[in-house]
């Protein structure tokens, strides 16, 4: 009969063989956590290898993602569509076994991990999603949403500050179906961690409000099983299982040492490890009895079918709720969404409210949220400034309100954004989060992960320029718009008025599976007049807002956000001086850049080289649009502390300066 240790040794062998063949990777953690993984995946994890997207599956997250071969070995052995050929191509171009797990590449990987701590944050998002979705849909005797989130993490995850942010929230929210297993091996890249990591981790998590299981032998299957049973037998608190392991377990000369952490063991050491583990099989060879001990295809299909049977009974009892549930988990927008959302955009154009775009954003949320029960939002302790709360906001984190739709994140920008990624990846929700644009710096790596994974998270940023005034340069964003725009697959919208604000929200919501950043002003923005075609062309990222009448323009002014109004005023001034100018509003450069050449040429014709971009942010970003013959009215320094009108004048955001710049460019 196959023993647990033999099953775990299959994971160890695959990990060290794949890393050795690639001559790159991290064999130590997979070898150290193999016993824990074997117990979790064989005795507890509810999943279906033949359908990795079965909705009520348990979520498994490898926060210490450098140990990716652990997850790849588990997926392969349990029957996911990850054949041995892919393990042999570990870390190679176009393989499904990247250096760190990627959700877009590998079936069974729930989220892309690698930046330490963010997997834990995503897992908190998964667990929050399960809790809130269960509150929305479960009824007595009908628990169609009922699953756990398991996350493996290591010393590095716990050293990262984001672990504090999200663990604190998980305890506050009482996410009882979240189980974190800490690989306490005492080793990081630089060696034994006692020289730089002396936290009392159990007491730290108990202070957060977690249930902590201490002192578990990570190589004793029965001890591991007992700990996980204790974790899943209670639902009042998230659980941290502190499992003491030996990194590189089985390697005669490298176990327990940093040498096994981030590099191949070496051919000789691999051979010695095979002997030490009594693993008598060649590289990448797994005997049939080992595969049989790991196979979960039949059991997984039975689990899913049992759930479908439960959903069928639920549907018979609650047909309307079931219809809504199925729509949401399928990621489909309501059937009346397109019509009603467009009607609101048109209303914002017709009503033309003279408000800050952050207020226009709130007005849009007020209109869209009742149409979208899956919309779940929050702010990093700035709801009154970001204006992200709407009339129907109900606290989703504390309590068990079936109408919960708003998350109070506290001052935790990084954790907030990474949790939003988890909410999006879980399914059933479209999350948005919010802070000041300048504090996107705190969250930027999570925003980058939104685009890389990708995850349909909407990141809302207000107080978007020096226009926020007296708070000064610490709070005035300069380089932030450019930084966010440089993230591949990220859409950054900076609308100039209420209509563009509403359209940006509509398009962000409709951007299935991908993120967007919506950037709004503190100060009021004058509404702009548009034709129906111009209103529609907002969705193309840039469009001609104004052209001179009865004459050919000599220059093009390109602007976003609050500077569109300035560009329009400058164009009128120039017209009085017989200098006809086109004004282009470009709320989203990424969307415009993706338009067909014919459209881009129609908006920014190549023959007109006299171009001036105007944005109260980093000037250098705009050089690609204005070229060598054009110029930019932008920021090249930090801001200053003063009322906004004084700042705009001081930094050259005036009609006179813009007009003079245009005339100089025309030459």
Cis check: omega of the bond before 454, within 30 degrees of 0: yes
Distance from C-alpha of 394 to C-alpha of 121, rounded to nearest angstrom = 22
Average pLDDT of the segment spanning 320-330: 98
SS3 462: strand
What average pLDDT does this structure show over 578-595?
Answer: 98
Token pair for 189: 């890249």
Please say if the pLDDT value at position 146 is more than 70. yes
Query: Which domains, from first to last, does the chain contain?
Result: 4-301 (3.40.50.970), 336-525 (3.40.50.970), 532-666 (3.40.50.920)
Q: What is the pLDDT of residues 421-480, one digit of tens each?
A: 999 999 999 999 999 999 999 999 999 999 999 999 999 999 999 999 999 999 999 999
Mean pLDDT of 354-370: 98
Query: Which residue ranges are tagged as binding site for thiamine diphosphate?
Result: 66, 114-116, 156, 185, 261, 439
Contact 642, 470 (CB under 8 A): yes
**Local structure of 384: helix, strand or coil:** helix
d(CA 370, CA 263): 53
Q: Measuring CA to CA, which residue among 88, 80, 79 is closest to residue 106?
A: 80
Model-wide pTM > 0.95: yes
Mean pLDDT in residue range 260-288: 97
601: helix, strand or coil: helix
Amino acid 555: pLDDT = 98
Residue 326 reports pLDDT greater than 90? yes
Residue 583: is its pLDDT beyond 90? yes
**Among 38, 110, 269, 413, which one carries the catalytic annotation?**
413
Confidence band for 235, pLDDT divided at 50, 70 and 90: confident
- As a whole number of angstroms, the distance between CA 129 and CA 31 comes to 32
Write down the mean pLDDT value for the chain: 97
The pLDDT value recorded for residue 145 is: 98
**What stretch of H or E contains 618?**
strand 611-618
User: What pLDDT is recorded for position 234?
Assistant: 87
pLDDT at position 19, please? Answer: 98
Asked if the model's pLDDT at residue 400 lies above 80, the reply is no
How confident is residue 1, by pLDDT bands cut at 50, 70 and 90? Answer: confident
pLDDT over threshold 80, residue 579: yes
504-531: average pLDDT: 97
Going by the annotation, the residues of the binding site are 26, 66, 114-116, 155-156, 185, 187, 261, 358, 385, 439, 463, 471, 475, 522
The confidence score (pLDDT) of residue 451 equals: 98
Nearest to 468 by CA among 458, 457, 480: 480
Quick check: 399 pLDDT over 70? Answer: no
Rounded to whole angstroms, how far apart are CA atoms 494 and 492? 7
What are the binding residues for substrate? Answer: 26, 261, 358, 385, 463, 471, 475, 522
Tokens describing residue 593: 């850049």
CB atoms within 10 A of CB 575: 16
Q: Sheet of 516-519: strands edge to edge?
A: 406-408, 375-379, 430-436, 458-462, 516-519, 491-493
At residue 403 the predicted structure's pLDDT band, cuts being 50, 70 and 90, is: confident
pLDDT at 655: 98
Reported confidence tier of residue 397, pLDDT bands at 50, 70, 90: confident
Cβ atoms within 10 Å, residue 642: 15
Active site annotation includes 413: yes
* Residues above pLDDT 90, as percent of the chain: 98
Phi-psi region of 631 (alpha: psi -120 to 50; beta: other; left: phi over 0): beta
| 194-208 burial: b if 16+ Cβ within 10 Å, else e | eeeeeeebbebbbeb
SS3 85: helix
Q: Which helix (H) or strand (E) segment is 36 a member of?
A: helix 28-39
Return the pLDDT at 401: 76
Lowest mean pLDDT among 505-509, 527-531, 550-554, 629-633: 550-554
């Amino acid at each position: 009969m196959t023993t647990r240790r033999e099953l775990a040794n299959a994971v160890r062998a695959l990990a060290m063989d794949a890393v050795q063949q690639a001559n790159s990777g991290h064999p130590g953690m997979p070898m150290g956590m193999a016993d824990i993984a074997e117990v979790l995946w064989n005795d507890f994890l509810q999943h279906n290898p033949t359908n990795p997207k079965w909705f009520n599956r348990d979520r498994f997250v490898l926060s210490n993602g450098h140990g990716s071969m652990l997850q790849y070995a588990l997926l392969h052995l349990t029957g996911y569509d990850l054949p041995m050929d892919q393990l042999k191509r570990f870390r190679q171009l176009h393989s499904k076994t990247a250096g760190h797990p990627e959700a877009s590449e590998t079936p069974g990987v729930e989220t892309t991990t690698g930046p330490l701590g963010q997997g834990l944050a995503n897992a908190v998002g998964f667990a929050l999603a399960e809790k809130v979705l269960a509150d929305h849909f479960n009824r007595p005797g009908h628990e169609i949403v009922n699953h756990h989130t398991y996350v493996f993490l290591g010393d590095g995850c716990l050293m990262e500050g984001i672990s504090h942010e999200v663990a604190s929230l998980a305890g506050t929210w009482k996410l009882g179906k979240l189980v974190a297993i800490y690989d306490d091996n005492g080793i990081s890249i630089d060696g034994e961690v006692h020289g730089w990591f002396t936290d009392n981790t159990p007491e730290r998590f108990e202070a957060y409000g977690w249930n902590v299981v201490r002192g578990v032998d990570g190589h004793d299957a029965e001890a591991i099983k007992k700990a996980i049973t204790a974790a899943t037998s209670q639902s009042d608190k998230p659980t941290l299982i502190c499992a003491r392991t030996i990194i590189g377990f089985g390697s005669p000369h490298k176990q327990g040492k940093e040498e096994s952490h981030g590099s191949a063991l070496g051919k000789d050491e691999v051979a010695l490890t095979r002997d030490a583990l009594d693993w008598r099989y060649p590289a990448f060879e797994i005997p049939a009895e080992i595969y049989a001990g790991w196979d979960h295809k039949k059991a997984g299909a039975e689990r899913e079918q049992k759930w479908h049977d439960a959903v069928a009974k639920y549907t018979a009892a609650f047909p309307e709720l079931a219809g809504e549930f199925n729509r949401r988990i399928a990621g489909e927008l309501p059937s009346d969404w397109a019509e009603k959302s467009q009607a609101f955009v048109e209303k914002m154009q017709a009503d033309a409210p003279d408000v800050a775009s952050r207020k226009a954003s709130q007005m849009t949320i007020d209109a869209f949220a009742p149409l979208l029960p899956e919309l779940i939002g929050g702010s990093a302790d700035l709801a009154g400034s970001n204006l992200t709360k709407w009339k129907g906001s109900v606290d989703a984190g504390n309590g068990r309100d079936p109408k919960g739709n708003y998350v109070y994140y506290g001052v935790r920008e990084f954790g907030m954004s990474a949790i939003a990624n988890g909410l999006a990846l879980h399914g059933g929700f479209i999350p948005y989060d919010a802070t000041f644009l300048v504090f996107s710096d705190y969250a930027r790596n999570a925003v980058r992960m939104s685009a890389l994974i990708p995850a349909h998270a909407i990141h809302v940023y207000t107080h978007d320029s020096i226009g926020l005034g007296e708070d000064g340069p610490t709070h005035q964003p300069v380089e932030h718009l450019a930084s966010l725009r440089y993230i591949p697959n990220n859409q950054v919208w900076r609308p100039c008025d209420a209509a563009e604000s509403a359209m940006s929200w509509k398009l962000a919501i409709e951007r299935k599976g991908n993120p967007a950043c919506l950037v709004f002003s503190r100060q009021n923005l004058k509404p702009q007049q548009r034709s129906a075609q111009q209103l529609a062309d907002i969705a193309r990222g840039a469009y001609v807002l104004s052209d001179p009448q009865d004459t050919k323009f000599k220059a093009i002014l390109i602007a976003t956000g609050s500077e569109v109004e300035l560009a329009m005023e400058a164009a009128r001034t120039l017209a009085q001086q017989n200098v006809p100018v086109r004004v282009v509003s470009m709320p989203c450069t990424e969307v415009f850049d993706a338009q067909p050449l014919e459209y881009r040429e129609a908006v920014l014709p190549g023959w007109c080289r006299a171009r001036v971009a105007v944005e109260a942010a980093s000037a250098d970003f705009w050089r690609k649009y204005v070229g060598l013959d054009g110029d930019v009215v932008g920021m090249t320094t930090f801001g200053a502390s003063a009322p906004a009108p004084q700042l705009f004048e001081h930094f050259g955001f005036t009609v006179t300066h813009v007009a003079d710049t245009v005339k100089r460019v025309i030459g």
